[in-house]
Amino acid sequence: MVTSIQISEGLQKELIKRKLFEKETYEAVIWGLVEDSQELSEQTKKEIASARAEIKAGKSYTLAEVKKELGL
């Protein structure tokens, strides 16, 4: 179902400023704002904690190391 909403000029100007590219829709901008305000899932929190532990344990590579290994 598609619907329309009324917004103030001020809000429209704010949404325009938040567009990542000129043809991005207001809906995409609003979804991005909603997503930013949502709580992370427990699975995501666990994955972040695991990644931080790996980095702390030295199980990571710098960009320079990756480039060297790939011959870039």
Cβ(26)–Cβ(15) below 8 Å: yes
Q: Which pLDDT value is given to residue 1?
A: 87
Q: What is the pLDDT of residue 25?
A: 94
All structural domains of the chain with their residue ranges: 9-70
0.85 exceeded by the pTM? no
> What is the C-alpha R_g of the chain?
20
Is the pLDDT confidence value at 36 over 90? no
57: tokens are 């344990």
| Chain center to CA of 32 | 8
Q: What are the two backbone dihedrals, phi and then psi, of residue 56, each rounded to the nearest 5 degrees?
A: -60, -35
pLDDT of residue 2 exceeding 90, the answer is: no
Of residues 44, 7, 46, 41, the one with CA closest to residue 27:
7
Tell me the two tokens of residue 17. 């400023």
